[in-house]
Amino acid sequence: MKELQQSREAERHGAWASPEVPEGAAPDWTVPQNWDQLTDEDHRVWDTLFARQQVLLYGRAVREFEESLEVLHLSRPGIPNFTELNEKLGPRTGWEVVAVPGLVPEDVFFEHLANRRFPAGNFIRKANQLDYLEEPDVFHDVFGHVPLLAQPAVADFMQELGFLGRKAVEVGQLHRVARLYWYTVEFGLALEAGEPKIYGAGILSSFGESHYSLESEKPHRLAFDLRRMLRTRYRTDTFQQTYFVIDRFDDALHLLRENDFGALCAELDALPDIEPSYANNEERLAA
């Protein structure tokens, strides 16, 4: 189950966190954000990354992403204070950002999602490592994931993933949920007026992949197909070789509600996995 251990983040080249709760953290792994202890350099790194991505994502990200940056006041300088951010986010969708010291185990992660809490790193990368991350930091987690949590369709979908993940941990189907999470929440594209746009946090927070996912001729951009997605392995060590392009955000949520995920997994277990480098011409989205 190598893929399982690589499941959540492109930046997470290692395993999920070990099960011991870190010193000073609550049993659910949360810690105070300690916003007051962030340094001027930390805030400058956020501002640099933010300015770079905002220019790059203009016209590339889904419209809802731009809207949500405004709604949550994320364009204010400096690393967001989670208390202030939650005052904006909570009334919209009931989601809350909680601080964690780094990687959390999968059961803890999905338990947070199931309760509409998004765990976000309480640290930021260094100025000399703008494009390299060992663990998801506050920029990936808050800039990449949190804006779309202000959108009701995404908010519901993420909670649904929490329920699914919690159950999958129990029945040994975590790799299917991990693929679903990967190809939607982290690396999803969605059509807008017939054109693919970015909604996955792994792309939204990545300088290189923002271009590549939409404009490079290398990766496959496939029409969304839940069965196909759940059979497709993924790479964590490079830009994606395959992206799934959904018609609208809401479609993913409906698919989850309309399908018996357990039965679907049982059906798919009889079929071979698909490599991310593979695609046939019929599956590709018309250019």
The dihedral formed by the CA atoms of 51, 49, 151 and 17, expressed in degrees to the nearest 10: 180
CA distance 246 to 243: 10
Among 9, 64, 106, 209, binds Fe ion (CB under 5 A): 9
Alpha-helical (H) ranges within the chain are 2-5, 40-57, 63-71, 82-93, 106-114, 138, 152-171, 174-181, 201-204, 207-215, 226-231, 249-258, 261-268
- Beta carbon of residue 200, minimum distance to Fe ion (angstroms, whole number): 9
**Which is the catalytic residue, given 145, 160, 175, 213?**
145
- Across the beta sheet with 195-198, what order do the strands follow? 195-198, 189-192, 242-246, 220-223
C-beta separation of 28 from 114 below 8 A: no
Look up residue 160 and give its two tokens: 């649904």
Beta-carbon contacts of residue 39 (< 8 Å; ≥ 6 apart): none
Contact string 156-175 vs Fe ion (x = CB under 5 A): --------------------
We find the least distance from the C-beta atom of residue 282 to Fe ion, in angstroms, to be: 31
Name the segment binding Fe ion (CB under 5 A); options: 96-104, 194-202, 219-227, 279-287. 194-202
Please list the residues that pair with 55 across neighbouring strands: none
Pick 100 or 279: Cβ nearer Fe ion = 100
45 or 203: whose CB is closer to Fe ion? Answer: 203
Q: Which residues of 114-132 are buried (b: 16+ CB within 10 A; e: fewer)?
A: bebbbbbbbbbbeeeeeee
Q: Which stretch binds Fe ion (CB under 5 A): 96-104, 149-157, 166-174, 195-203?
A: 195-203
Out of 106, 112, 135, 205, pick the active-site residue: 205
Q: 33 or 279, CB closer to Fe ion? A: 33
> Catalytic: which of 106, 135, 186, 209?
186
> In the annotation, is 145 catalytic?
yes
Helix (H) or strand (E) holding 222: strand 220-223
- Select 158 or 255, whichever has its Cβ closest to Fe ion: 158
Q: Which is nearer to Fe ion, 252 or 279 (CB)?
A: 252
Half-sphere exposure of 5 (CA within 13 A, CB side): 6
Q: How many residues bind Fe ion (CB under 5 A)?
A: 2
- State in angstroms the smallest separation of the CB of 8 from Fe ion: 6
Q: Number of H helices and number of E strands within the chain?
A: 13, 6
Which one of 7, 68, 140, 209 is the catalytic residue?
140
Residue list 198-257, contact with Fe ion (CB under 5 A): 201
Closest CB to Fe ion among residues 9, 111: 9
- Does the annotation mark 205 as catalytic? yes
Contact stretch for Fe ion (CB under 5 A) within 7-15, 57-65, 219-227, 233-241:
7-15
Active site residue 186: yes
The yes-or-no answer on residue 73 being catalytic is no
Question: How far apart, in whole angstroms, are the C-alpha atoms of residue 128 and residue 231?
Answer: 38
For residue 191, the SS3 value is strand
- Active-site residue list: 140, 145, 186, 205
Binding site for Fe ion (CB under 5 A): 9, 201
